[in-house]
């Protein structure tokens, strides 16, 4: 499980340290908070906690790989996070 079969679509793959990065822009603070809340639920479910940076209308997500680098676990998380972002924006 140490090699990525297919990288997470739309995410920037960083080599050192192995991580996936993506910036999401929202049109309101309310959407930003809604996305952060959904992401927190996903973290609680998966046990994977990304580093997050946010302001009123953006969220920067960095998903760190483990000691062995990026695996399906991180890629799956990134894909699900992307789905949550889409759901948040669609809910406006």
Residue reference for tokens 């695996």:
71
Q: Is 31 within 8 Å of 74 (Cβ atoms)? A: no
Q: Does 55 bind a copy of itself (CB under 8 A)?
A: yes
Selected range binding a copy of itself among 4-12, 13-21, 46-54, 76-84, rule: CB under 8 A: 46-54
49 binds a copy of itself (CB under 8 A): yes
Number of residues that bind a copy of itself (CB under 8 A): 12
Question: Residue 51, interface with a copy of itself (CB under 8 A)?
Answer: yes
Q: How far is the CB of 19 from a copy of itself (least distance, A)?
A: 12
| Percent helix, percent strand, percent coil in the chain, to nearest 5 | 40, 25, 35
Q: Which long-range contacts (CB under 8 A, 24 or more apart) does 48-53 make?
A: 48/73, 48/74, 48/77, 50/77, 50/81
Contact region with a copy of itself (CB under 8 A), list: 6-14, 19-27, 51-59, 82-90: 51-59
Residues engaged in binding a copy of itself (CB under 8 A): 29, 33, 40, 49-56, 60
């Amino acid at each position: 499980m140490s090699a990525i079969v297919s990288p997470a679509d739309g995410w920037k793959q960083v080599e050192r340290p192995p991580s996936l990065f993506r910036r999401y822009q929202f049109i309101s603070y309310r959407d930003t908070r809604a996305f952060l809340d959904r992401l927190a639920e996903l973290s609680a479910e998966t046990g994977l906690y990304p580093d997050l940076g946010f302001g009123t209308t953006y969220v920067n997500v960095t998903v760190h790989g483990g000691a062995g680098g990026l695996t399906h676990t991180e890629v799956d998380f990134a894909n699900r996070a992307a789905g949550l972002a889409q759901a948040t924006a669609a809910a406006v």
